[in-house]
Amino acid sequence: MTEGTPRAPFGARLHSAIAARGNLCVGIDPHPVLLEAWGLGVDAAGVREFSRRSLEAFGDLVPAVKPQVAFFEEHGSAGFAVLEELLGSITESGALSVADAKRGDIGSTMAGYARAWLGADSPLACDALTVSPYLGVGSLAAAFDTASENGRGLFVLARTSNPEAGGLQGAGGPTGTVAQSVVDEVGRRNAASDPGVPGSFGVVVGATVGDPPRLDSLSGPVLMPGVGEQGGTLADVRRIAGPALPHTLVNVSRHVLRAGPDVDAMRSVARALAETYRFVGPA
């Protein structure tokens, strides 16, 4: 994108990236245990090297890369500097960046988060951001607006696979759960998207949940963690995604990262998974 040229909507860019590279999204999660297993320091320097090797392994293979913000944030300003660098490098690799920050607040505070992660000139700007709607989907208005203005996207938590989530997200019964209300509201915000191309606002639904919300009216992308070491299977992805399957990003992290620190070993695992989780033909 040249300076001054408007960025295409995130949904359109994701559609192109999936057509070219398949549906696998790989996380970069520099957890202290993994840093130690790789022989790296549990510090910002270790996180930088971990991120560099990870991106070298799969940045050019997959449509999206998802840094887990917490593992950068815990190292303070030095960790955020590494994250800024990584977000730029993801763009250079041709992949889209999904910052897994799960931000969610109200009013001017949410607007501040939106400017930080979705603003036109922010050093932390990502292609898409994970956000939490459990102060009400409407509380995320600033994030929806800022993302739209700058060609970026959101993945809104809807039905997550952690065991603590079921009581809240599944409340309300099988046809009117909290999770379903989140999906339906996000879908309304995608109503103007072009047929065949997802809107820029998606949801997060775990691959291991037995009571997923319906995604037929989402008209947007799905970020689906929980595959691989967490127990989710290809059959689960197909069952849960349904008509949203072509626009679903299947997120895998530890299954790839545990093949490190060898770049070629990680690349081999990522390549095999990318072939497994390809639901559309090459562009």
CB 17: neighbour CB atoms within 10 A? 21
Q: 156, 283, 142: which is closest to 218 by C-alpha? A: 156
Handedness of CA 35, 39, 42, 44 (dihedral sign): negative
CA distance 179 to 258: 32
Phi/psi at 129 (nearest 5 deg)? -130, 140
Phi/psi at 103 (nearest 5 deg)? -75, 150
Q: Peptide bond before 261: cis, by omega within 30 degrees of 0?
A: yes
Active site residue 102: yes
Q: Is 93 exposed, middle or buried (0-12, 13-18, 19+ CB in 10 A)?
A: middle
| CB 63 within 8 Å of CB 20 | yes
Q: 223, 181, 179, 180: which is closest to 200 by C-alpha? A: 223
Write down the catalytic residue from 102, 254, 255, 258. Answer: 102
| CB 158 within 8 Å of CB 179 | yes
| CB 243 within 8 Å of CB 216 | yes
| Residues with catalytic roles | 102
